[in-house]
Amino acid sequence: MTKAMQVLVGLLADARHKLKTADFGSYAEMRLLLDQSLDKLERALHRRPTVVVAGESNSGKTSVANMLAGLDVLPAAVIANTTVPVSLRHGIVPTVSAVTTNGRVPLSILAIEEPLPKFLMGGLERIEVELPGMRDAGFEILDTPAWPVEGLASETADILIWCSVAVRPWTESERRAMIDLPARMRDRSLLAITNKDAIAPAERARVLSRYKELAGPHFSDMVMIDAAFQQPDEEDEEVLAQNSKGDHAALLDALEQLVDDYWNHRAMTGRRLCRHIARSLRPGIPARQGENGTTAVSDPDPVSAILINIAGRLATV
Partner 1 sequence: MGESALLEEGRRVPVTDTPAATGLEPLREGGIGGSLETLRRELLELGARLDRVVEPSGKSLVAEAARLLERQVCKIAVIGQIKSGKSSFLNACVQIPELLPTDVSPWTTAITSLHFQQRRPSEPAAVFQFFDEQEWQRIAEGGGLLRELTERLVPGFEPELLREQINSLRLRAASRLGPQFTQLMGQTHSYEELCPEVLGRYVCAGDPVTAMRDVESQLGRYSDITRSADVHCAGGPFAFPTTVLDTPGTNDPFLLRDEITRRSLESADLYIVVLTARQPLSDADVALLRILRGLHKERFLIFINRIDDLADISQDQREVREFVKNRIAREFPDADIPIITGSARWANAALNQTSLSQPFDRRSLAYFVETGLMRREDLVRTAQPSSPPRSDLKDALLTSSGVPAVYEAIDKLMFESHSAHVLRQVAQCYAELARASENTINGELQQLTELQSTAATTAKRADSHLPRLDAELRQLGEVAQIIETSAKSIDEQMREIVQEEISNLRQSLTAEMQRYADEERHVLTDTLRRGRGPSEWRCEADSLRRRLAEIFMAGFNRSSQRLVSLQARVSPELYQLMSMIVPGSPPPHEPDARGLPMPSPNISALSTAVVLDLATTWWSAFLRRSPTPEQRGDEVAALICSEFAAVIDEMASKAEMALMSYGTTMSKWSFGICNSIIEALRRRREELRTAYDGLAAEAGGTAAPESVAQRDQDIAKMRARYTEAAAVAEKLQSILPELRSPEHRSGPAEPTE
One symbol per residue from 144 to 163: x for binding partner 1 (CB under 8 A), - otherwise; what is it?
--x-----------------
Candidates 83, 230, 242, 309; binder of partner 1 (CB under 8 A) is 230
CA dihedral 284, 286, 287, 291 (to 10 degrees): 60
Provide, rounded to whole angstroms, the least separation between the CB of residue 69 and partner 1.
21
Name every residue whose Cβ is closer than 8 Å to that of residue 121 and which is 6 or more positions away in sequence.
none
Q: Which is nearer to partner 1, 133 or 148 (CB)?
A: 148
CA distance 264 to 1: 9
Q: Which is nearer to partner 1, 40 or 175 (CB)?
A: 175
Provide, rounded to whole angstroms, the least separation between the CB of residue 115 and partner 1.
17
Contact (CB, 8 A) for 298 and 281:
no
Contact (CB, 8 A) for 149 and 185:
no
Binding residues with partner 1: total (CB under 8 A): 36
Provide, rounded to whole angstroms, the least separation between the CB of residue 120 and partner 1.
24
Distances (CA, A) of 105 to 133, 168, 303: 22, 39, 47
Candidates 206, 245, 272, 279; binder of partner 1 (CB under 8 A) is 206
CA distance 285 to 307: 7
- Phi/psi for 162 (5° steps) reads -100, 125
One symbol per residue from 53 to 82: x for binding partner 1 (CB under 8 A), - otherwise; what is it?
---xxxx-----------------xxx---
List residues binding partner 1 (CB under 8 A). 56-59, 77-79, 146, 165, 167-176, 179-180, 195, 198-200, 203, 206-207, 209-210, 213-214, 229-231, 233
